[in-house]
Each structure stands twice: as structure tokens, then as C-alpha cells.
């Protein structure tokens, strides 16, 4: 039974189940919540780990390296924090210290940017760490456990890092299978120090200074250990599958066995790529397509990837990349793949093009993959293509331009001939089937929308559906309008993590959002979709009037959630809104969900459950008579103490934690 967890929460479980003995931490967005969760467990006695409140990432890294000589150690970081660690991380690699890092990938700036890309992971790629990329919370959890298994192998003894895309990975809430402790203990034996410091019988010196003769031999040995990783990782991934039912390879091949066109990438951005690949598979006029999801970035499994491409008969390979390599021909992943195919396949190597996207939290959407497969198609047909990276979502520099007008003149001068010979083929751009149902909440930061969405996600998972909730995060002030999106997939077992951005339900936690000049709440709402508004003063007709949607097939509901919450003495209106959601959206049956809420609802439980009931009961699409006086909730201490990272851990303790914490 899956439990609802964020990517950070899943990573924390990875460390907990790996029985990490020393966990120093220093906060940095977006990976902080992993350390917060571990601190909570440690302070509640649920996890037996020595934590250190470090004064910098540099010190946290120094501490995992120091402690990693005697015990299993790990920490989490992101972005500049990782860059600050790099100075000392090489000591872990050079000193054969198998400590672990979880990285919530984030841009490194300047300009400062707190959102996702791979700049931090790329900056550390020469530090000598094993680098694994996870595509979701489940993979982050599994990879951390496997990371220790690989890193501590006697043929390896190197540090490792597990990467997960910031926010869309680290802050996405979804069902995660938490392995049983007893199984993990079977899979991952206790830490065995090779040259411990706290061993009077055998004193050792770490970090000695070596002159050239010894230095070069040492570095060669270090490289040799690194080259053992692929084999060890394959074995570890296979055995992981045997015990937990989720086998892992060095990369994942999604799509056709024979694939002329391949898009390669790493990490969470594979979600929309996955949907597009499956959609394009077997379509008329489209050759074999596949998505190459690379899990092991360092050491790069060059031979294995080259063999897979050769076996699939790949002609064109487009490498999608969320990062740069300043001054280089290609960014790091494209460079590694190009080298791999060139070295192992020679003249039979597929043509490799590079596409840069997803920078600084840029959306990675389905249409991007449609463009990339179209580009691959053109390359496979022998059309010319760029020998430097393409960019996504740069208006004056599109991948396809029919005429000069669509591109910047300077660029046209340079790439006009290439553009002219490209063919945009509509068959790649057919809209994807809407296999998922999607809900968007507009709320003000601090209203508890994420908490309610996470609760809804948990209830949905328990009723057998697959759900994913992705809140939008940023440098929002309290009270700013934020969105929280939930995806519901009721079709079969295959996980879908890609939003179509066609909303079945749009919820407003605050009726003033209707008049926000920056938010068009009807944008993306499906024909016949539902708009649910928390209001005590507006009637349904008035709302239609404000939105100029009197005649549309839109269904408008109102619920006096603030009033309900106030009546019950609650400081948040989110529980009433949760009940109301069940009234307008019945895919997650209310009766069943209520059973889940009875177990997991935030405190005070009785009032929260009552709020859910009342919210459900008082939701209406009729012209309800409302009190004229505007209701506003009193600002309570709880409300003021709210922090964006607070959700779910305190408020929705999982069943497992409940048991362990008594």
C-alpha cells in the first residue's frame, strides 16, 4: 500500500531505512524538507541517528566525510549549497568514503533562481561521486538505499549522490511504497568500516599529502573503483527488484524495441516524455520511438548505452538537457552520449543533437517532446541539424521556423539554411489523449491548500487510484495567490506524472482571487468543468457575471468554507474545502475517503472531520442565501507559524509513523 509522500519525504525515508548513523544538515531550498523530516524523526525517537546542526553546507559535507570513515553518513543539499560542498567532496572520493548525498536539483545562478535544473549536479560531476538520477519520489527512496549498497561495495567504496528535480520532484506528493525495514536490512547489510579512525589497534592517516608518483597511482585506483560501479549497480538494481519488486538498470528504455528516433534525458522531466513516447508509439507514419531515461550519470555507462542504441537501430538521438556546459560544444549529458556512441559505434553511431530546456524551473511539457521527436525524425531523414544546442521556449530561436519572420535576424543568418530544410510534421503534434483528470486549486499562501490536496491525494491512493499533487512554490509572501495541482489517473497500473493542464475542477479558496488581474481562473478549465468557490457573499450568478461566463457550460459551485471553519473554531478553511471538493468531484468516493480522513486528519480531529462533513453538505450550485456580512477567519498563531514546508509531515502522519511513534 503506497503512502502519500513528497519527494523530499521519500528521500528522508531512504536515509531512515538505510539506517544512516550520522546526518549533519544545513538548509537550502528545495531539499530542506528531507532534513526537516529526519530531524523530526530523530527528535521524536523514531530514528536512531546523530544529527548535527551544521553552520554551513561546507561543514555538513566535512562532517559526513569525517563520520563516514566509521559509520554510515549522509545529508541533503541543493544548488549553491552543493557548490559550497564541492571543495571538500573530493576528499570523500579520494579518501574512499562511501557517504551519501540527496540533491534536490536547482539552478545555481546568478541570476539567483530557486527553481529546478541540473546546474548543481553538473558542477559536481568531476568531484568523483557516483551520480544517480531519480525520476520521482519512489526512485529517490529506492536509489538512496541502493546508493549505499553500491557505494559500500568493496570494489567501489566511493561517495554517491542521488539527484531529484527540485519542486516537480522534491515537492510533488504521490504514492510511494515504503519498503519494510526487515527487507531493507536484508538488502543492505550494516556499515562495515574498512579503515576506521576510532580503532586504537590500527591508527590510520586520512588526507595525507602524496607526491606525483604516489598521487597518480592513487588517482588511477580511484578511477578503477569508479569503473566497477556499473557492474555493481546492475547487480544491486537486480537484487533490489527481487526483494522489492522494482528492478533498476543503468538506464530505462521506454517505447519501441526498434527505435529509429530516441530522446535521451535524466530525471523527473521524463514524465511528459514518457506520455508523449507512448502516445507516438505505433502511430501511422512515425518510425519506432523511444525515451532513454538515464539513471547512472557518473560513471557514465557508455558501452551499455551505445549497445542499446545499436540494438534498437537508432538513427537520430536528441539529448534533452537541463543544464549548460559553458564554452563547450555540447552540454554534459549530450557530450557524454556523443563520446559514448562515437567510441563504441564509430561510423554506425546515431546522429546526436542537443536540446536545452527546463532551466531555472522552466516547465518541461509534452509539446517539447513532440518537437524533439519531430526534430529526431528530420535528422534521421538526413536533414541538416545544428551542431550546437537547440533551445526550448526561446521565442526568437525556435526549433522549427517556416520563415525568416519567426526568428531573430542574426540567428537566421547563421541557421537559416538549417531552418529552411526542417519539416514540422503535424503527425507529431496531435494532441495527447486526456487520460487523466486534473484539479487546480488557487489559494492564498497560508490557507492550507497544499495540506488539503495532500490529504485528498492520500485518500485517492487508498481508494485505488494514482494521484500526484504538485504545488507551485517560490518566493511567495504569505497571502500571495498560489496554485496547487492534482492529477488523478484511474486507468490501469501505469503511472502518469504528466499534467495535460486541462482542469476538470478549479477551486478558489478565496473569492477575491476572482478579481485578481493576474489570474484567469477559467484558463484551461475543460468544457463542462467545475468552478468551486469559497464564498459567503457571492452568489453563483454573480460569479458567472464577474467571469463573463453566464452562458458557458461551466458548472459553478459555492461553499461558505470560512464560515464553517469559523463556526467550528478552526484556523484553516481547508478541511471544509476538502469536503466540498468531494461534492463536486466524485472520482474519489466520499464515503471511502472519509474513512481515510478519520485516521489521518489534522488536529483538532473532531472539528476537522466535522468541517469536511459540513463543507460536503453545504456545497451548492443553487442561489444560496448568504449572510451579507463578510466573514474572515481570525488570524491565529498557527496560521502565522505556517511555513511552506510544513505540510503533510505534521498534519498527515502516515499510518506507519503513527504506529512507530505510538
Partner 1 sequence: MYNILYNRHIGTTPHSFLLPDPVLDVGEYGAILTTGLSSGHQGCTGCGMVSGTNQVLKALKLTGKHVVASIGTGCNEVITTQNTSCWGNVSVDHNNFPNTGATLSGNVAALRALARAGAASPDAFINLGMAGDGGTYDIGLQALLAWIARGEDGIYVCLNNQAYMNTGVQGSGATPYGTHTSTTPFGKLIRGNQRTPQYLPDLALAAGASYVATACPVQHRDLMIKVQKAAAIEGPCVVEIYSVCPEGWKSETDVFHEITEWALQTRSWILYEAERDRKTNTVLFTLNHVPEKHVGVADYLKLQERFAGMREFPEMVERAQEVIESRWSFWQPVLQANGIQGGDKAHEL
Q: Using CB under 8 A as the criterion, which residues of the chain lie in contact with partner 1 when the complex forms?
A: 21-22, 24, 48-50, 52-56, 58-60, 62-71, 73, 87-88, 91, 197-200, 203-211, 214
Residue number, 59 or 339, with CB nearest to partner 1: 59
Q: How far is the CB of 25 from partner 1 (least distance, A)?
A: 12
For residue 30, whether the previous peptide bond is cis, meaning omega lies within 30 degrees of 0, is yes
Sign of CA dihedral 179, 50, 6, 639: positive
Q: What is the DSSP string of 277-335?
A: HHHHTT-TT---EEEEEE-EEES--HHHHHHHHHHHT--EEEEEESS--TTSSS-HHHH
Of the two residues 71 and 432, which places its CB atom closer to partner 1 in the complex? 71
- For residue 367, the minimal CB distance to partner 1 (Å) is 47
Among residues 203 and 464, whose Cβ is nearest to partner 1? Answer: 203
- How many other C-beta atoms are found inside a 10 Å radius of the C-beta of residue 617? 13
CB of 197 to partner 1, least distance (A): 4
Pick between residue 205 and residue 548 the one whose CB is nearest to partner 1.
205
- Distance, in Å, from the CA atom of 69 to the CA atom of 95, rounded to the nearest integer, reads 9
Decide: 526 and 600 in contact? Cβ < 8 Å. Answer: no
- Let me know if 48 is exposed, middle or buried by CB neighbors in 10 A (0-12, 13-18, 19+): exposed
Task: Pick between residue 212 and residue 634 the one whose CB is nearest to partner 1.
Answer: 212
Entry field: residues in the chain: 662
Q: How far is CA 65 from the centre of its chain?
A: 27
Q: Please, what is the angle between helix 574-584 and helix 590-600, to 10°? A: 160
Is the Cβ of residue 198 or residue 285 nearer to partner 1 in the bound state? Answer: 198
Burial of residue 515 (number of CB atoms within 10 Å: 0-12, 13-18, 19+):
exposed
| Cell numbers describing residue 502 | 486541462
Q: Tell me how far, at minimum, the Cβ of 78 lies from partner 1, in Å.
A: 19
Q: Using alpha carbons, list the distances in angstroms from residue 132 to 12, 29, 85, 198.
A: 16, 20, 18, 31
- Going by C-beta distance under 8 Å and a sequence separation of 6 or more, which residues neighbour residue 450? 469, 471, 484, 647, 648
Phi, psi of 321 (to 5 degrees): -140, 135
Q: Minimum CB separation from partner 1 for residue 71, in Å?
A: 4
Min dist. Cβ of residue 51 to partner 1 (A): 8
For 408, half-sphere exposure in the C-beta direction (CA atoms, 13 angstrom radius) is 8
Closest CB 195 distance from partner 1, rounded Å: 9
Euclidean distance between CA atoms 108 and 650, whole angstroms: 31
Query: For residue 423, which of 385, 367, 369 has the smallest C-alpha distance?
Result: 385
Smallest gap, in angstroms, from Cβ of residue 654 to partner 1?
26
Instruction: Specify the residue, 67 or 352, whose C-beta has the smaller distance to partner 1.
Output: 67
Q: To the nearest whole angstrom, how small is the minimum distance from the Cβ of residue 63 to partner 1?
A: 3
Q: Kindly tell me which of 206 and 429 has the beta carbon lying closer to partner 1.
A: 206
**Residues 168, 534, 637: CA angle, nearest 5 degrees:** 75
**1 or 209: whose CB is closer to partner 1?**
209
Backbone angles phi, psi at 418, to 5 degrees: -70, -45
Q: Could you tell me the three cell numbers for 396? A: 526568437
CB of 40 to partner 1, least distance (A): 18
Least distance to partner 1 from the beta carbon of 366, Å?
Answer: 45
**From the CB of 42, what's the least distance to partner 1, in Å?**
12
- Listed residue (244, 288, 256) closest to 376, CA to CA: 288
Grid coordinates of 532: 468551486
The smaller minimum CB distance to partner 1, of residues 63 and 271, is found at 63
Residue whose grid cell is 539506517: 19
Closer residue to partner 1, CB minimum distance, 24 or 446: 24
62 versus 484: smaller Cβ distance to partner 1: 62
Among residues 48 and 516, whose Cβ is nearest to partner 1? 48
In the complex, the smallest distance separating the C-beta of residue 84 from partner 1, rounded to whole angstroms, is 10
Amino acid at each position: 500500500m503506497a503512502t502519500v509522500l513528497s519527494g523530499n519525504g521519500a528521500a528522508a525515508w531512504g536515509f531512515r531505512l538505510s539506517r544512516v548513523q550520522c546526518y549533519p544538515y544545513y538548509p537550502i531550498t528545495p531539499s530542506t524538507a528531507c532534513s526537516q523530516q529526519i530531524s523530526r524523526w530523530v527528535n521524536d525517537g523514531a530514528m536512531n541517528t546523530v544529527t548535527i546542526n551544521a553552520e554551513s553546507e561546507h561543514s555538513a559535507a566535512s562532517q559526513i566525510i569525517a563520520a563516514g570513515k566509521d559509520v554510515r553518513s549522509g545529508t541533503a543539499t541543493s544548488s549553491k549549497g552543493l557548490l559550497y560542498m564541492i571543495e571538500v567532496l573530493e576528499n570523500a572520493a579520494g579518501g574512499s568514503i562511501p557517504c551519501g548525498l540527496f540533491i534536490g536539483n536547482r539552478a545555481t545562478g546568478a541570476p539567483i533562481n530557486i527553481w529546478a535544473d541540473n546546474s548543481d549536479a553538473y558542477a559536481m560531476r568531476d568531484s568523483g561521486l557516483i551520480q544517480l538520477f531519480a525520476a520521482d519520489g519512489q526512485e529517490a527512496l529506492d536509489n538512496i538505499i541502493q546508493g549505499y549498497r553500491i557505494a559500500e561495495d568493496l570494489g567501489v567504496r566511493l561517495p554517491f549522490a542521488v539527484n531529484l528535480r527540485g519542486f516537480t520532484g522534491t515537492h510533488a506528493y504521490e504514492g510511494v511504497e515504503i519498503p519494510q525495514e526487515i527487507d531493507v536490512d536484508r538488502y543492505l547489510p550494516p556499515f562495515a568500516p574498512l579503515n576506521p579512525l576510532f580503532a586504537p589497534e590500527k591508527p590510520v592517516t586520512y588526507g595525507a599529502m602524496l607526491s606525483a608518483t604516489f598521487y597518480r597511482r592513487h588517482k588511477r585506483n580511484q578511477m578503477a573503483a569508479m569503473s566497477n560501479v556499473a557492474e555493481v549497480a546492475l547487480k544491486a538494481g537486480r537484487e533490489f527488484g527481487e526483494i522489492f519488486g522494482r528492478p533498476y538498470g543503468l538506464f530505462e528504455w521506454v517505447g519501441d524495441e526498434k527505435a529509429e528516433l530516441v530522446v535521451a534525458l535524466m530525471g523527473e522531466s521524463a514524465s511528459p516524455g514518457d506520455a508523449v513516447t507512448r502516445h507516438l508509439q505505433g502511430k501511422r507514419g512515425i518510425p519506432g520511438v523511444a525515451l532513454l531515461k538515464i539513471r547512472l550519470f557518473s560513471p557514465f555507462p557508455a558501452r551499455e548505452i551505445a549497445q542499446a542504441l545499436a540494438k534498437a537501430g537508432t538513427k537520430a538521438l536528441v539529448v534533452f538537457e537541463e543544464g549548460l556546459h559553458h564554452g563547450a560544444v555540447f552540454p554534459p549529458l549530450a557530450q557524454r552520449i556523443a563520446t559514448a556512441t562515437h567510441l563504441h559505434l564509430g561510423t554506425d553511431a546515431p546522429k546526436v543533437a542537443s536540446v536545452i530546456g527546463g532551466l531555472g524551473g522552466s516547465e518541461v511539457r509534452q509539446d517539447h517532446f513532440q518537437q524533439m521527436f519531430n526534430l529526431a525524425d528530420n535528422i534521421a531523414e538526413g536533414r541538416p541539424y545544428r551542431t550546437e544546442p537547440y533551445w526550448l521556449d526561446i521565442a526568437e530561436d525556435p526549433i522549427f521556423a517556416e520563415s525568416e519572420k519567426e526568428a531573430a535576424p542574426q540567428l537566421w543568418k547563421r541557421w537559416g539554411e538549417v531552418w529552411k530544410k526542417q519539416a514540422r510534421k503535424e503527425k507529431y503534434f496531435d494532441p495527447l489523449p486526456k487520460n487523466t483528470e486534473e484539479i487546480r486549486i488557487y489559494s492564498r499562501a497560508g490557507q492550507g491548500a497544499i495540506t488539503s490536496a495532500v490529504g485528498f491525494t492520500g485518500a485517492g491512493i487508498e481508494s485505488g487510484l494514482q494521484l500526484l499533487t504538485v504545488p507551485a512554490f517560490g518566493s511567495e509572501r504569505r497571502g500571495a495567490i498560489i496554485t496547487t495541482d492534482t492529477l488523478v489517473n484511474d486507468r490501469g497500473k501505469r503511472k502518469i506524472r504528466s499534467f495535460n493542464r486541462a482542469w476538470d475542477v478549479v477551486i478558489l479558496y478565496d473569492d477575491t482571487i476572482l478579481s485578481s488581474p493576474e489570474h484567469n481562473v477559467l484558463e484551461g478549465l475543460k468544457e463542462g468543468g467545475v468552478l468551486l468557490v469559497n464564498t459567503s457573499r457571492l452568489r453563483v450568478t454573480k460569479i458567472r457575471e464577474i467571469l463573463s461566463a453566464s452562458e458557458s457550460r461551466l458548472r459553478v459551485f459555492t461553499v461558505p468554507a470560512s464560515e464553517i471553519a469559523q463556526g467550528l473554531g478552526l484556523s484553516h478553511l481547508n478541511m471544509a474545502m476538502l469536503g466540498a471538493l468531494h461534492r463536486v468531484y466524485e472520482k474519489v468516493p466520499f464515503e471511502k475517503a472519509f474513512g481515510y480522513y478519520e485516521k489521518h486528519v489534522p488536529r483538532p480531529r473532531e472539528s476537522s472531520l466535522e468541517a469536511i462533513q459540513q463543507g460536503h453538505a453545504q456545497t451548492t450550485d443553487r442561489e444560496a442565501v448568504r449572510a451579507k456580512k463578510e466573514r474572515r477567519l481570525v488570524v491565529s498563531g498557527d496560521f502565522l507559524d505556517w511555513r511552506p514546508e510544513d505540510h503533510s509531515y505534521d498534519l498527515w502522519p502516515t499510518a506507519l509513523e503513527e504506529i512507530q511513534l505510538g
